[in-house]
Chains A and B, each alone.
Chain A
């Protein structure tokens, strides 16, 4: 059951399967256009920039930068005890491609725009959720 852990898991689709399962191979997979080389998210079968249909998942570095964040104080899910940080992070490969994610291993009072973060996967059932944590090295 997808909600047994007090959270809601994603409905994995043909387009999103690589995004949600790449983490089992420690890979963050984002859709990329093979015509214009642009990345985009969420995954779908066309590039919004050049409208090419020649698109598919490729592996990115997993490095990103915090573009915006919010410190959630409301207990929406048992698996996410407040306070916790939800952030929009911009991929190193292409800054205008953002993922909404949850920041982990972070002091909620120390998050700031521009913070460098890296992906860390949280395996739940048949998906590996791409959370992010501050880059330490």
Chain B
């Protein structure tokens, strides 16, 4: 049993130039990533008949929306049978799961899925106006947070982290081991933003943002785009790469979409999607060879670790103590590319890209030394979450 009856596979991936303030637009980066992914799959743009992206044309400043689905399909003159974008979905890769369903049901054959950001360049050019420069009042999901000074996800996620630490004794030193591991891996990734080694003193000594979160618990805005090709399985034969199967996926949300009303503040939507995913497969956490887990904030990565069953609920501190276990050479390498903490906020798609290149053995210096066939991918934080198990045929 596999997701959408194993009718959808991943056939290629591509990333644009990635960096800080590289002076290119989000559309330009998206087009470059798309060209590379299509070529990597062994396809041409004439083969692409579907496009999916996140988040679509939402009202956001500061380079958050690098390119929309329409931007890319129009730029290349694509003739599509199916296209979509959306932000009300199961994490940043939610519409990629929709693309898998679209090819499985015959609505498309090869779908170009992408996420593009140019936050570093856009914010340097003054597009991120100060919060209080906005002439409007806080509405929608901001209405009940901004008036209290709760401006940033660092505030909302800081509260979750504080409660978990209070409940289970997780410490900043333990989380620091995860952050330092990401930095060590990033040193092997030529596209990573931060590659210099980090010590525990560096981590603990950095300025606080919203206690218990410090500067290095927060990811780094960057410019870059990632594209992934999802194909109907029958159409993948003879292409450039061994198809990657979506063994199982999770998109469940069993509580309200909220940052402060979840019944148990020591869990997140990650727990909902992980439970759904494991119920859909005969595989179990011990079958996973490595994991790429969203770390827009370090605490989110710790939530994915326990949500996906790599440790018991409440025991992630003990899991983190043993950093030999999740280093590149360990039993369960986590974020071989350095995650968003060190490799840059490619916003979810970077984790999928890394899972694919590792499974294909194309990760260069940071290639996991053991043979890898099964990857767990967890994307999102708070009420936003989606996950999948990717499998390469041995």
Contacts and interface: CB of A to CB of B under 8 A. Distances in A.
Interface of A: 1-3, 6-13, 16, 41-42, 48, 67-74, 76-80, 83-84, 86-88, 96-102, 112-113, 127, 129, 131
26 contacts: A3-B132, A3-B133, A8-B131, A8-B137, A10-B143, A10-B147, A13-B143, A41-B261, A68-B166, A70-B155, A70-B210, A70-B213, A71-B210, A71-B211, A72-B211, A74-B210, A76-B151, A78-B132, A79-B149, A80-B149, A86-B159, A87-B159, A96-B261, A100-B145, A113-B162, A129-B148
B140 to A, nearest CB: 8
Given A68-B265, A69-B162, A10 B144 contact: yes
B62 interface: no
B282 interface: no
B322 interface: no
Contacts of A68: 159-160, 162-163, 166, 265
Nearest to B213: A70
B261 A98 contact: yes
Contacts of A76: 131, 149, 151-152
B146 A113 contact: no
B207 interface: yes
B167 to A, nearest CB: 8
A79 B146 CA distance: 12
A71 B208 contact: yes
* Top 9 closest pairs, chain A to chain B, by CB: A70-B158, A11-B139, A80-B149, A68-B163, A76-B151, A11-B137, A71-B211, A68-B159, A73-B208
Nearest to B144: A42
Contact of B163 (A67, A71, A78): A67
B144 A100 contact: yes
Interface residues of B, number: 43
B136 interface: yes
B60 to A, nearest CB: 16
Q: Which of A1, A74, A97 has the most CB of B within 10 A?
A: A74
B166 A113 contact: yes
Contact of B154 (A74, A79, A96): A74
A42 B143 contact: yes
A28 B148 CA distance: 15
Contacts of B152: 74, 76
Q: Which of A3, A10, A68, A79 has the most CB of B within 10 A?
A: A68
B314 interface: no
B59 interface: no
B131 A86 contact: no
Contacts of A67: 163, 265
A59 B134 CA distance: 32
Contact of A69 (B159, B259, B261): B159
A98 B137 contact: no
Nearest to A80: B149
B15 to A, nearest CB: 30
Nearest to A48: B256
Contacts of B98: none
A87 B137 CA distance: 21
Given A100-B259, A131-B148, 17 more contacts: A1-B135, A8-B142, A9-B137, A13-B139, A73-B207, A80-B149, A86-B148, A86-B155, A86-B158, A87-B159, A88-B260, A97-B261, A99-B144, A100-B260, A102-B149, A113-B163, A129-B147
B10 to A, nearest CB: 37
B150 interface: yes
